[in-house]
Amino acid sequence: KQEVTQIPAALSVPEGENLVLNCSFTDSAIYNLQWFRQDPGKGLTSLLLIQSSQREQTSGRLNASLDKSSGRSTLYIAASQPGDSATYLCAARKTDKLIFGTGTRLQVFP
């Protein structure tokens, strides 16, 4: 059974710092891994999708890496801004299921 864990559970940093959010999954036979952002009381916004054959994906200040063999993915946020404050969720897809991690709640203060 796939289990997805995210570390840390919460993070509070000053503006401008570079951040690394971690995601680990127990079953490495995944199709892809997707990172989402959720603002309080809002829906999920897809940030990056990494296929199982890829090592990383980049979008603006965000970079996500995937190491399938070790069951790990990281989301790197460069030069963090207060607008990055949100909960970040990783989710691993296998067959028809997307299994979510426990989330990292990020606060970036000015």
Partner 1 sequence: DTAVSQTPKYLVTQMGNDKSIKCEQNLGHDTMYWYKQDSKKFLKIMFSYNNKELIINETVPNRFSPKSPDKAHLNLHINSLELGDSAVYFCASSQEAGTYGYTFGSGTRLTVV
Contacting residues toward partner 1, per CB under 8 A: 31-32, 34, 36, 38, 41-44, 46, 49, 51, 87, 89, 91, 93-100, 102-103
**Please, what is the end-to-end C-alpha distance for the chain in angstroms?**
41
Q: In the bound complex, what is the minimum distance in angstroms from residue 63's beta carbon to partner 1?
A: 17
Tokens 């127990």 found at: 26
- Bridge partners of 10, per DSSP, are 105
Q: Which is nearer to partner 1, 60 or 110 (CB)?
A: 60
Strands (E), 56-103: 56-59, 62-67, 72-77, 86-94, 97-100
Of 29 and 79, nearer to partner 1 (C-beta) is: 29
Q: Which is nearer to partner 1, 20 or 97 (CB)?
A: 97
Cβ 87 to partner 1 shortest distance, Å? 7
